[in-house]
Copies of this chain bind each other. A is one copy, B any other.
């Protein structure tokens, strides 16, 4: 793996992973989970969608919940440095023949002009440079609730061929690799890619794909994670807790995986580390190292590998078919 953060051949400056979108079948029920129990702040509600943000965030939304017939993942939103970056990316899409379309300012509520494109592996990306400000609630501690979600952190996606996708994100968009997992044949089984200076904005894992495995949200500390479990269990939502709390070997983060009422998965994530030095040397893990996924040795449940959200076509909104990987989609160490 390459050290540091490579130069993007497209010339596009990606700032960070910024927001995700899930389709949910019952907006009210989803609101109970995300707002009442987990403590997301509601910025705006339209007839068919909720726009939520974390306590630290100063923009309109970092999570979109859109009414749909079945759960799935909408777009993965990345913030770029400027409007020029959007233009450069538009040219690139035309040149490469990538499916894409433009959204005018406000086409997505609270957001400036945006470009949606399907990456060569099927992931539904969105890029934008401007977002409408919203009140930052960081120091309104009296209004903090539940897991005290601070901000969006990262996307984690499953793809049948991680190696090619890694090359594309590194070369075209300048993503740097912080850590990676080598498969049993020394192939690239998973990779953690970053732009914003912590462990990742985007993780790619080998699996049936394209699928969005989870959206990762930052919380302030380990206690916020424990409180999320207590709050969910106390309210009778114990079935939402899928895996954790625990510490990841990879990333060192303290984590918890939750399933929303439609089965969409989010991660609460705290305490990873800084990756800003240009000579950062990616950290290698072996797939079957028992401390890799959970540093404390706990096996992940099979559902964690089996289930993930299907992706939408950015052109039609239809769900994309899934391709199985040639190699294994999980470590030996699964319950």
Contacts and interface: CB of A to CB of B under 8 A. Distances in A.
Of A59, A141, A234, chain B has the most CB atoms within 10 Å of the CB of A141
A139 B226 contact: no
A223 B223 contact: yes
Contact of A277 (B37, B79, B222, B254): B79
Given A81-B278, A276-B196, A291 B247 contact: no
B245 A139 contact: no
Given A226-B222, A296-B238, A297-B241, A37 B197 contact: no
A81 B222 CA distance: 33
Given A151-B273, A238-B295, 7 more contacts: A130-B279, A229-B295, A233-B247, A233-B295, A233-B296, A238-B296, A241-B296
For the complex of A and B, 8 pairs with smallest distance between CB atoms: A141-B234, A141-B230, A142-B235, A238-B297, A142-B234, A229-B296, A197-B197, A221-B221
Interface of A: 15-16, 37, 56, 58-59, 79, 81-82, 130, 133, 138-144, 146, 150-151, 196-197, 218, 220-223, 226-227, 229-235, 238-239, 241, 245-247, 249, 252, 254, 271, 273-274, 276-279, 281, 290-291, 295-298, 335
